[in-house]
Structures are given as structure tokens and as C-alpha cells.
Structure 1
Amino acid sequence: MTTATNNKTSIKAFWASLLLLSVLACSPKEVDELVVISTPYGDMTAVLYDDTPIHKQNFLKLAKNGQYDSVIFHRVIENFMIQTGDVSTGVAGESVDYSLEAEFLPEKYIHRKGALAAARTGDAVNPEKKSSGSQFYIVDGEIFDEEGLKARAERRQELKLSGLFARMLRSERFPELTEKVEYHRGLSETDSTYDFGLAYKRLIFNSIDVIEKEFGDQTDPGYPAWAKEVYATEGGAPHLDGQYTVFGQVVEGLEVIDKIAATKTNLRDKPLEDIRMHVKVITLPKREVTKKYGIEYPQKD
């Protein structure tokens, strides 16, 4: 090894030591734990939000315990999202048996490109919209103009009303709705050209008064100006806002999302070849995270 090489090694060691000392010099409140998600397509670094503490601490716990290691991306849809976190597919070998309380903050955190959000079961069986204990997705998304956002708001409204309508059917307190559904189902069974899906959708929207009587006003709030700007420039999946907990953001490696999202999949959106991840936790001073990535932390009282 040459003297020049020794000097370079010494310089690198010096800066590494300096960084470590700067981290150690910070109080626990002044540092943050970020996650690095490593894949065959590259690494993604993500910040987890302090004001979604249930999801943040749960994710960090799973990562530190190695439960995310070797877990596959089991659902991938280009221009939408890449989903992972089923720990039974990794070294853990079994799924978690708990769910997390929702932490919705759509006024701050939206489904912009790179957003980390918790997966969950549907509204019909999960009216409180509780999150999966381990599964999450990362938004790939697409760009939306004003007309596109209007269509996404309509889609969000449709998804929300569909969940509420399904809950009403399951409760058995609304036999008249069940009768109407079965009427249209019967027509579809006797006439192969009858579009049951369209009829069911119309029935839901025609039942808006009954739904609102049971669950209150369901007017869609639309999108604030700042969110419109994000979706028009960065892109995302706006119809999911306010329906799933967004608890973090990829700040490095956005191109990795695109690469994974573009992989070939089967009819169930599962990649034909397993894409596995490993997750590690790194510590950085919060001021450095803010300076480098523009992440603003909640002010403590």
C-alpha cells in the first residue's frame, strides 16, 4: 500500500470519526433514525415521520430485529406502487399477528412519489382503517393535472363509499339494499351482457342519502393547492390520501422505485422473479436531515 493510499485512508477514517462524534454529541431528541432499504436494483433511504410514532417505532423495531431481511416485494404495479413487508416471506418465516391504529395526517403527508404508507385490509372488514403490522408500500405514481386530480377525487369517493356500502350489507340491518344487490346479481346471471359491476356502482351512488344518514357527510374534500402542485410535478397516487397512513418518505433512491415497478409480473401483480430486500437503520443528526433532505421536524412543546 502506498503512502498516498495510506493518507486517503486516514482522511476517510478522520471524517468518519468526526461524523460519529457529531452524532454522539447530539441528545436523543436531536438525532433521527433513518432506514436504508437495499434491493438488487439499488438502495433507498427513507425518513420516518416523528408525528406518526406508532408506525415509526413499529417499523424500526421490525428492522432492528431483522424481520424485514430477505422479505420479497410481493405486489408491484407500474405507475402506482411497490408493496412489501410480508415478513413470512423472509427470514422470520411467519407473519405478525397484530395491526396498528391509523395515523392519518393528509394535511401534511400525502401519497407523493416515494411515500411510505401502511397496507391494510378493506373498509368492509376494517372500518377503523387499521394498518397491517408489517406490510407497507412505496408510491411510484404518475403525474396528474387538474382534470386528472378531479378523476382521482371521484375514484377516492367511490372507494370510500364502496367500503361503507359493504359494511351496511354485512350488518344485515339494511335488507332493502341487499335485495337490490341480489336483484342486479340475478339479472347478470340470466343475461351475460348485463354489467353487474356498473349496476352495483350506480346502486352505491344512488344510496348516498342512506349512507350519509348512517355515517355522516361523505363529501370529498378535494386537494389543497400545495398538494396539487406536488402531484402536478412529482406525481403520486392521490386517490389514496386520507385512506391509508403515510408514515415516511424516500429521500434517496427514487429511481429504484421505478426500476422495481417496471419488472415483469404475473396476473396477480407478483414479480416473476423474487425481489428481496434488506433493511438497516442509520442515525443522523436531525439538523443534517433537514439540511440535506428538506425534512422539517415537528416542534416540541
Structure 2
Amino acid sequence: MKRNLFILLIILTGSFAACRSGQKKKEKMENKKEVMVKIETSMGDIMVKLYDETPKHRDNFIKLVEEGTYEGTLFHRVIKDFMIQAGDPESKGAPKGKMLGSGDVGYTIPAEFVYPKYFHKKGALAAARQGDDANPKKESSGCQFYIVTGKVYSDSTLLGMEQQMNQGKLTSAFNALAQKHMKEIYKMRKANDQNALYDLQEKLYAEAEAEAAKQPDFHFTPEQVKAYTTVGGTPHLDNQYTVFGEVVQGMDVVDKIQQVKTDRGDRPEEDVKIIKVSVIE
């Protein structure tokens, strides 16, 4: 009997310890602070917070900050009412007039779209990347990033964008089907068989409509509408580039940077330099 009670005590103690351990982990997660990063530039300081929901981008950004990768780099691409871009290692000490934007750290980061929660509102911190043709998985640059400035949109403009995106579903579905029949299409063109081409087009269009109908219509969320009609942003970039943080202080500095005079390659005529970047404990 005593032996059974002893075993039961061990089991209960173990369960209690496991519960305590689980509670501690839960408390630790709840008390975890968002990572804050200070970007000191030649035009002022910008404070950004990094999202925990994009851990690969967060951890990579912290790694590069701690390695000093960004110190001495430039905001090499600045487009008013759009964004300011930085992080090209080749921009360090780059002579005036040199084209920048192709530098990297030898790797890319898998896309981490947390959409529609995080989108391209003004102040969003996002990862640059190569275009879809060379980068169909939309993987991010290992080092280059941009901060959204954007512009304010009207409700009617956003409605028009919704309609365009929904129409785009049909176009994408049709193009995908046409690609599968490309050999057949080339053969018909070569034979100048217009009737066969028309019949195939009608057939593929009907299939594309059926495929597009399976997908839900696109609509901006109330949060997106509010942001894009008040503070502004770049809605056409949503769900295409990874948003992994946002500016929490120093947006006035970002606005100053976007106002600088640039050359034909969108590089500021007077260098806007990142002096120091540090993780705030």
C-alpha cells in the first residue's frame, strides 16, 4: 500500500512539475517583448519593430544588424510617394552615379506572408526581392529592405483595384491553360486555322471562368481600407513582398528622405547613409 502511494506521489509531483513548466513557458511567451531596432541615418533616427510572425526575416535582420552589415550602406533607391530602399552591401563607399541595387549576401529568405494582417501601409518594413520571372516563389533578398511611404487612396480607387484583382484571377487562369496548349496553338497559327483557334479560345475561356469561380473574390479588409484612405500606403504590393515590421518612431525622417532629389536611377544625388543600426534591449 505504501509503495503504491509513493508511486502515486511521484506521478502527481511529475504532473505538477510539467504543469509548472508549461505555465512558465506560457508566461515567458506572454511577457516576450517585440524586437525593436534603431536605424541611425545621416538624416535622423528611425525606430522599427520586427514582427514575431515572420521569424526568418526577424532573425536574419537581427543577425545582419549584429554583424554590422548595414553600417555605411546607403538608401540607394528613393521614390517619392512609394518607398525608400536600403541594404545593398555594394553601396558602401559607392561613387556618385554608380548604379546600385544588385548587391546581396549570397542567399535568399523564404517568403513569409502574414496577409492580410500585415500589409503595405505607410511605415511598413518589407523585404526587397527579384521579380517573379526569376523568382516565382517570391523569396526575399537576404539583406535589402524598404520602408513604405506610399500615398492616400480614395474609396472608389480601392474599389477599382478590387475589381482589377478579381478580373486578374480570370486572366491568370486563362494564361495558365493557354500555356498548357501552347504546342497546339502554335500548330494552329502555322496552319492559319482561325476557326480552330477561336474554338480553343472559347473552350479555354470557359474553363478559366470555372476555375476562377472556385476562388473567393478579393476584398480589402476594413483595416486596409482605413489605413489606405487615411495614412496611405502601396496596396498593389500586398501579398507579393514579405512585410516583417513597421516604423514606430521617426516617420518624419522617412518622409524627409523620400523628399530628397534623385538621379534617373532613383538614387539620391546626395548620399543618405545608414550610420549605425542596433537592436534595442
Structure-1-length-normalised TM-score: 0.65
Instruction: Check the 8 A contact 1:70/1:277 in 2, yes or no.
Output: yes
**CA distance in structure 2 between the aligned counterparts of 1:85 and 1:168, rounded to whole angstroms:** 39
Name the counterpart of 2:110.
101
- The one-letter code matched in structure 2 to 1:233 is T
2:140 is the alignment partner of 1:126? no
Task: Give the superposition deviation at 1:175.
Answer: 5.0
Instruction: Check the 8 A contact 2:111/2:137 in 1, yes or no.
Output: yes
- The one-letter code matched in structure 1 to 2:182 is F
Could you say what the CA RMSD is over the residues aligned between the two structures, in angstroms? 3.5
Which of these residues, 52, 60, 70, is aligned with residue 54 of structure 2?
52
- The one-letter code matched in structure 1 to 2:138 is K
Name the counterpart of 2:231.
234
- The C-alpha deviation readout for 1:139-163, integer Å capped at 9, x for no partner, is 0011112112134446667889999
Which of these residues, 275, 279, 282, is aligned with residue 279 of structure 2?
282
Name the counterpart of 1:252.
249
- The C-alpha deviation readout for 1:253-278, integer Å capped at 9, x for no partner, is 11111111111112221211221113
Which of these residues, 29, 32, 50, is aligned with residue 30 of structure 1?
32
Name the counterpart of 2:182.
174
**CA distance in structure 2 between the aligned counterparts of 1:158 and 1:135, rounded to whole angstroms:** 32
After TM superposition, which residue ranges in structure 1, 4 or more long, deviate above 4 angstroms? 26-29, 154-169, 175-179, 207-220
Instruction: Check the 8 A contact 2:170/2:209 in 1, yes or no.
Output: no
**CA distance in structure 2 between the aligned counterparts of 1:162 and 1:269, rounded to whole angstroms:** 32
Name the counterpart of 2:155.
146
Name the counterpart of 2:43.
41
Which of these residues, 78, 81, 84, is aligned with residue 80 of structure 2?
78
- The one-letter code matched in structure 2 to 1:174 is M
Task: Give the superposition deviation at 1:220.
Answer: 5.5
User: Tell me, which stretches of 5 or more residues in structure 1 are unaligned?
Assistant: 1-25, 180-206, 285-301
User: Tell me, which stretches of 5 or more residues in structure 2 are unaligned?
Assistant: 1-26, 94-102, 188-203
Percent of pairs with identical residues: 41
Instruction: Check the 8 A contact 1:131/1:244 in 2, yes or no.
Output: yes
**CA distance in structure 1 between the aligned counterparts of 2:134 and 2:172, rounded to whole angstroms:** 9
Local SS of the residue matching 2:74: strand
In structure 2, relative to structure 1, the CA distance for the partners of 1:218 and 1:70 (3 Å cut) is: farther
- The one-letter code matched in structure 2 to 1:237 is T
Local SS of the residue matching 1:71: coil
In structure 2, relative to structure 1, the CA distance for the partners of 1:225 and 1:33 (3 Å cut) is: closer
**CA distance in structure 2 between the aligned counterparts of 1:77 and 1:165, rounded to whole angstroms:** 34
**CA distance in structure 2 between the aligned counterparts of 1:161 and 1:71, rounded to whole angstroms:** 43
**CA distance in structure 2 between the aligned counterparts of 1:159 and 1:32, rounded to whole angstroms:** 37
Instruction: Check the 8 A contact 1:123/1:163 in 2, yes or no.
Output: no
- The one-letter code matched in structure 2 to 1:127 is P
Task: Give the superposition deviation at 1:56.
Answer: 0.3
Structure-2-length-normalised TM-score: 0.69
Structure with larger Rg = 2
